[in-house]
Amino acid sequence: MDEAIIELYETIERSLPRKNSQVRRAIEKSRLTIADILAKHANPDGTIPRGKVNVILDEILALENEIYRNLQRELRLVLEDVAQKTTIGLAEAIIAYIGISQLIEVVGLPAALAELTIGSVEAVFSALTGTTYRNHVNSTVSSAFNRIGEDGLVLNDRIRNIAQVLRNEIEVTLRQSIRRGEGTTEIFRRLEQVFSDLSWRLDVITETEALYTLRQTIGKFAEDSGIFKALKIVDFPHGEPGEHERHKCYIYAHRDEHGLGEGVYPVGTRKIRNPHPRCRSVLLPVLIDGLG
């Protein structure tokens, strides 16, 4: 079962560059809005009259909410995809490892489930957790949006901050370029750099929340199902040489804080679900006695 969960983790981790691009594209739509605004006020030679600066900046104000909404929507889609894949993958791994018959005998699942195939995981999932697959996914995604970080911010705050910073940088760039008499081609070249400079912040958020969602999905499943007695955190090196040993995931994974074994924690432990930003660790469920 551990191998199946690690394989699931690796599949999701390999998808992160694609998910980063998906979230980045959410702000690309804002460039089209800027293009429409500038085209409306540009002279035939592509320059913008200086007298139009304040009018243009007033129209740019609405861009902040557009960026915020687009980012929020794409991030939710990314996290829903991670939660769905993790939920189904985890349930399939459990069924394949333990077997329906043992789940019926030891856990007390309905005998009717014996007629189901491994592909019918949603019914088994609901019987184990007492909730639907969809509710579990929604709850996990909501947890990502509602989790308060060490800086006191939730995910929506971080998205709003990016929208504010981007809108401010756009305003500064437009004001300077228009006053210098630059044409729209040069203005867009400068705006391209503005958008590019924020890409790393978007990547940090996307990767942090996607991998948190993976661990949170496993952790919540462990809590709700009652078939796990603990969770083991396994750290995967990430970053510059010598840096990983300072990460909290490394520290947690190499401690025996509860007398359960190195890196093993009670299922309700929250700190192992998001040790630090961009954390590459994974949680492996430890089955209750009598299973497996």
In a domain, 262, yes or no: no
What pLDDT is recorded for position 14? 95
In a domain, 273, yes or no: no
In a domain, 131, yes or no: yes
Which residues 6+ apart lie within 8 Å of 200 measured at CB?
A: none
What pLDDT is recorded for position 102? 75
In a domain, 129, yes or no: yes
DSSP 80-132: HHHHHHHHHHHHHHHHHHH-HHHIIIII---GGGGG--TT-HHHHHHHHHSS-
- Residue 9 sits in which domain range? 2-226
Residue 91 above 70 pLDDT? yes
Q: Tokens for 159, please give them.
A: 């998205």
pLDDT tens readout for residues 139-170:
999 999 999 988 899 999 999 999 999 999 99
Residue 273 per-residue DSSP state:
G
In a domain, 244, yes or no: no
In a domain, 284, yes or no: no
Residue 273 above 80 pLDDT? yes
Which comes out higher in pLDDT, residue 271 or 103?
A: 271
Residue 175 above 60 pLDDT? yes
pLDDT tens readout for residues 178-189:
999 988 889 989
In a domain, 59, yes or no: yes
pLDDT tens readout for residues 1-40:
899 999 999 999 999 999 999 999 988 888 888 888 988 8
Residue 42 above 70 pLDDT? yes
What pLDDT is recorded for position 241? 67
Taking the C-alpha atoms of residue 269 and residue 98, their distance in angstroms, rounded to an integer, is 24
Residue 109 above 80 pLDDT? no
The pLDDT of 54-65, averaged and rounded, is 90
- Total domains, the chain: 1
What pLDDT is recorded for position 1? 86
The pLDDT of 175-202, averaged and rounded, is 90
Nearest to 227 by CA among 120, 91, 114, 117: 91
**Arithmetic mean of pLDDT over the chain:** 89
In a domain, 286, yes or no: no
Sign of the torsion formed by the C-alpha atoms of 241, 246, 249 and 251 = positive
pLDDT tens readout for residues 248-258:
999 999 999 99
